[in-house]
A and B are shown apart, each in its own frame.
Chain A
Amino acid sequence: MANFDLNDDSVVVIVGSGAGGGTLGTELALKGVKTIILEAGARNEIEDFVNDEWGSFLQLAWTDMRTTSGSWRVHKDFPNLPAWIVKSVGGSTVHWAGASLRLQEHEFKTRTHYGEIAGANLLDWPITLAEMEPYYAKAEDKMGVTRTNNIPGLPGNNNFKVLEAGAKKVGYKEVHTGRMAINSQPRDGRGACQQIGFCFQGCKSGAKWSTLYAEIPKGEATGKLEVRPDSQVVKIEHDASGKATGVVYADKDGNMQRQKARVVAVAGNSLESPRLLLNSASTMFPDGLANSSGQVGRNYMRHMTASVYGVFPKPVRMWRGTTMAGIVRDEAALDTKRGFVGGYELETLSLGLPFIVAFLNPGAWGRDFTSAIDSYENMAGMWIVGEDMPQETNRITLDPVAKDKFGMPVASVHFDDHANDVAMRDHAWSRGKAIYEAAGATDVFPTPPYPSTHNLGTNRMSERARDGVVDAHGQTHDIKNLFISDGSQFTSGGAENPTLTIVSLAIRQADYISEQMGKNTI
């Protein structure tokens, strides 16, 4: 493992070690580029993970202060927990469920296909599906995605069987155990899925792809990658020419360190990445770095989400086995006849008893609530994930009052559902209910969104500098050696779980950065 000097200004510094940062750092190291990943969280390995929802949450989740506002229900239910994402090496690839779907062609061109929608800040991506396809293929191979590269699908668990039975009865066609970055057979030095459940708590068998153990160690083995855990970046610095020169970060003891850099890439997830750019404001860049467009922090998307839980006359035991290996894709296609634009996926999801009581209907009490919980063993669950509308007013700002332990203003998250999001959620709830009723459910519960796991769009890609923060390679329009490498690049959200696209963009970005370094343009 490498150990670079703080004054080494030839290194690429990456902020964050998740799907974007962990992939980018590993890819660069494999190309021989000296790279440092600074990760705010600790390095928890597979043996540290616990099959315990609250215990794992306290071990892995970002629980530092954040504030919220807006009409979304998360603000009411979880005012200081807008997002359920990870602060640990591997980032949210430790917690993710593994669903690995490509965005569809039209989802890269939403302004073209959906037209002008009041209140929505739609924009076409400056990149097409055709340009992304080679990188999607590389990512699927790297991650071992089932139903690609001749890798068989995962076997269906009980929760999937209920979904499948109901979905087929109501006429859905594209129903299967998903394209999952979870080994259905041994691959890449990792074993096959043991159907443990607890995918969200860190995979104890390592069958699920994560940058923590499937990427970063390969980068470290080259001697070109150094990962520094417990290192929270508080500021990106620049010189008089406006070029990034390095970062200031708090080390594990809380002491401020300055790491010099040739290139800085920000991959702290869509809440922390814009927060860092905004907190790096200077005399030269008074509105924050890379913010000449005013779009840093704006167009925050979280996917239109919700859940449906069905109660059946006999046990399902939904917690057994892979959490999200089950999908209905029929509602994801381009079809504006349903009264909204965009589509959604229906995916199996289960929560253990400790979390179902926290999330089924937050704030509820009394016999209505407990009678549902009394049926826990007989419950099946699905998650709804669909495209939400980017809105300029949904945004991350710096909280004017709350600061973290390093004195850095915390992220304040404002979100209002768009009318299109509400119409899509109502449609999806009714379809989910129909599926479970077709499978014999005696009761069905529409469950509101959990704290956001898919945080997107707050440093979006655009063709023109005035419309967004980065270009098609994630290079900021304003600062040539400053890149964004996470889901905050997304111009629109699509209906699909975003990790595969984040990884594909990071592979593509690694090619671009090393090429540009070779040409001395950065």
Chain B
Amino acid sequence: MSSSAIPQPHGLDRRAFLTRAAVSTIVISNGALICLGEAWGLEVKALKPETARTLVKLARDIYPHDRLADRFYAVAVKGYDEKAGKDPATLAAFEGGVAALDADAKATNGVAYADVGWEAERVALLRPIQGGAFFQGIRSDLIVSLYNQKEVWPLFGYEGESASKGGYVNRGFNDIQWL
């Protein structure tokens, strides 16, 4: 899986984005998610764009890493969109799960889930559903669809494959100095 799978925003200049967008915000435009701060876009084919945007937020709330940009969570959501496109039951499960979450958010916070401003308030909405199939399906999928992105590994210091480099026998397997 590669982040390059995400199309760059259509007809928009990447440099212009980088200068115009002060903070990372995902907006919806012409059926695509556009991330202003990070200069990427995600065209969804099966899910509603609003659903995909909520899933990106949800993915980050489940596994929040401040060092990870939204695009890594969006790669996982792109996978959900592809699964939803192949299976109507999966599509219904995502749309239904997000609709229920939005209903909870509106009842409690007055706005849809993705618009609830504070992480702690969103997490409070997730706790009652954490044992359910919708939450668990996304959480367990993220273990692979988020953390098994090779582009994510260096951000945690993980170096991945080493055999082709001769292992670490001459590259620091015993280089610890601080003990």
Contacts and interface: CB of A to CB of B under 8 A. Distances in A.
Interface stretch (B22-30, B86-94, B167-175): B167-175
Nearest to B61: A366
Interface string A184-223: 0000000001111110000011000000000000000000
B63 A51 contact: no
Interface in B119-172: 123, 130, 139, 143-144, 147-148, 152-153, 156-164, 166-169, 171-172
Contact of A353 (B130, B147, B171): B147
Interface string A340-375: 000000000000111001100001011101100110
Interface string A153-172: 00111100110010000000
Nearest to B144: A54
Interface in A307-334: 313-317, 319-322
Contacts of A363: 139
B161 A51 contact: yes
A193 B162 CA distance: 13
A233 to B, nearest CB: 32
15 contacts: A157-B168, A158-B174, A161-B176, A194-B163, A194-B167, A195-B168, A195-B173, A197-B167, A314-B178, A317-B157, A319-B159, A353-B152, A365-B63, A367-B64, A376-B158
Given A157-B173, A158-B176, A314-B178, 8 more contacts: A155-B174, A158-B174, A161-B174, A193-B169, A197-B167, A317-B157, A321-B167, A374-B67
B117 to A, nearest CB: 17
Nearest to A378: B157
Contacts of B161: 50-52
A363 B138 CA distance: 11
Contacts of A439: 179
A333 B55 CA distance: 53
Contacts of A52: 160-161
Nearest to B120: A367
Interface in A264-321: 313-317, 319-321
A365 B157 contact: no
B175 to A, nearest CB: 7
A399 interface: no
Residue from B152, B158, B160, B176 with most neighbouring chain A CB atoms (10 Å):
B176
Interface string A132-148: 00000000000000000
Given A165-B179, A317-B172, A354-B147, A197 B162 contact: yes
A219 to B, nearest CB: 27
Interface residues of A, number: 45
B148 A365 contact: no
A46 to B, nearest CB: 10
Contact of B147 (A198, A204, A357): A357
Contacts of B174: 155-158, 161, 321
B62 interface: yes
Interface of B: 61-65, 67, 123, 130, 139, 143-144, 147-148, 152-153, 156-164, 166-169, 171-176, 178-179
A377 interface: yes
Given A316-B176, A365-B139, A353 B156 contact: yes
A502 to B, nearest CB: 27
B172 A161 contact: no
Contact of B143 (A197, A316, A357, A440): A357
A196 B167 contact: yes
Given A51-B160, A197-B168, A374-B65, A321 B173 contact: yes
A352 B158 contact: yes
B163 A366 contact: no
Contacts of A352: 158, 160
Contacts of A377: 156-158
B149 to A, nearest CB: 10
A358 B143 contact: yes
B148 A54 contact: yes
Contacts of B153: 353
A309 to B, nearest CB: 14
A260 B65 CA distance: 59
A374 B130 CA distance: 22
A315 B163 contact: no
B1 to A, nearest CB: 11
Contacts of B164: 51
Residue from B159, B166, B179 with most neighbouring chain A CB atoms (10 Å):
B179
Interface in A222-270: none
A366 B158 contact: no
A313 B178 CA distance: 9
A185 B169 CA distance: 13
Nearest to A440: B179
B170 to A, nearest CB: 9
Nearest to A365: B62
A316 B176 CA distance: 7
A365 B175 contact: no
Contact of B167 (A195, A370, A373): A195
Given A157-B173, A158-B173, A377-B156, A366 B123 contact: yes
Contacts of B144: 54, 354
Contacts of A367: 64
Nearest to A314: B178
A194 to B, nearest CB: 3
A54 B141 CA distance: 13
Contacts of B160: 51-52, 352
B179 A161 contact: yes
Nearest to A160: B174
A353 B158 contact: yes
Contacts of B123: 366
Contacts of A373: 65, 156
A355 B167 CA distance: 19
